[in-house]
């Protein structure tokens, strides 16, 4: 048996997790092991288990409080984000949402239920109504900017004070 770090370097997350859990069982008061466990659980998307480790760290070692608070909010927002993209809730939006942004949010519902053509149609309508945002990045001009995720279009995802927002690039 190697170390969890070796397993992680080899790309074997399951083995890394198993070995790390054994280390935590042997040394439950070792904050470094628990921090690594939290990180690995977060990478794997096991949000509830990652939050559990953060809660243990908070109670175990006061020096971890800034990290715990920061990541608790981020993980809670990740869970909200998952609900948004599953069509179960709407994102918070800075300012009054324009019609095109409402269409992007509406497109998440058919997308989540496998009605991709309907979702694509709604997104197409939204993007036709979206104002072009031009600018310059590193001296290169652009006429349009959008997120690489087509579900977002010209929207920035932001976590602000523990809340998950969509912020249109035009703002």
Cα–Cα distance measured from residue 100 to residue 8, given in angstroms and rounded to the nearest whole number: 43
Residues 126-144 pLDDT 10s: 999 999 889 999 999 999 9
Q: Which residue has the tokens 């040394």?
A: 27
Residues 38-89 pLDDT 10s: 999 999 999 999 999 999 999 999 999 999 999 999 999 998 999 999 999 9
DSSP symbol at 86:
T
Q: For a pLDDT cut of 90, what percent of the chain falls above it?
A: 89
Q: For the chain, what are the domain ranges? A: 4-82, 90-168
Q: Could you confirm whether domain 4-82 is CATH 3.30.750.24?
A: no
Residues 9-43 pLDDT 10s: 999 999 999 999 999 999 999 999 999 999 999 99
> SS in 3 state form for 142-163?
ECCCCCCCCCCCCEEEEEECCE
Q: Is the pTM value of this prediction over 0.95?
A: no
């Amino acid at each position: 048996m190697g170390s969890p770090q070796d397993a992680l370097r080899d790309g074997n997350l399951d083995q890394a997790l198993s070995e790390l859990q054994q280390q935590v069982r042997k040394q439950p008061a070792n904050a470094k092991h628990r921090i690594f466990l939290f990180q690995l659980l977060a990478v794997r998307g096991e949000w509830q288990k990652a939050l559990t480790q953060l809660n243990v760290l908070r109670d175990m070692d006061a020096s971890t409080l800034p990290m715990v608070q920061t990541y608790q909010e981020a993980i809670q927002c990740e869970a909200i984000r998952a609900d948004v993209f599953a069509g179960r809730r709407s994102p918070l939006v800075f300012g009054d949402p324009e019609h095109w942004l409402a269409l992007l949010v509406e497109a998440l519902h058919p997308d989540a239920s496998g009605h991709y053509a309907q979702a694509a149609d709604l997104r197409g309508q939204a993007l036709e109504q979206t104002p072009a945002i031009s600018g310059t990045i590193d001296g290169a001009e652009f006429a349009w900017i959008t997120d690489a995720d087509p579900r977002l279009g010209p929207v920035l995802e932001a976590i602000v004070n523990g809340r998950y927002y969509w912020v249109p690039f035009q703002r």
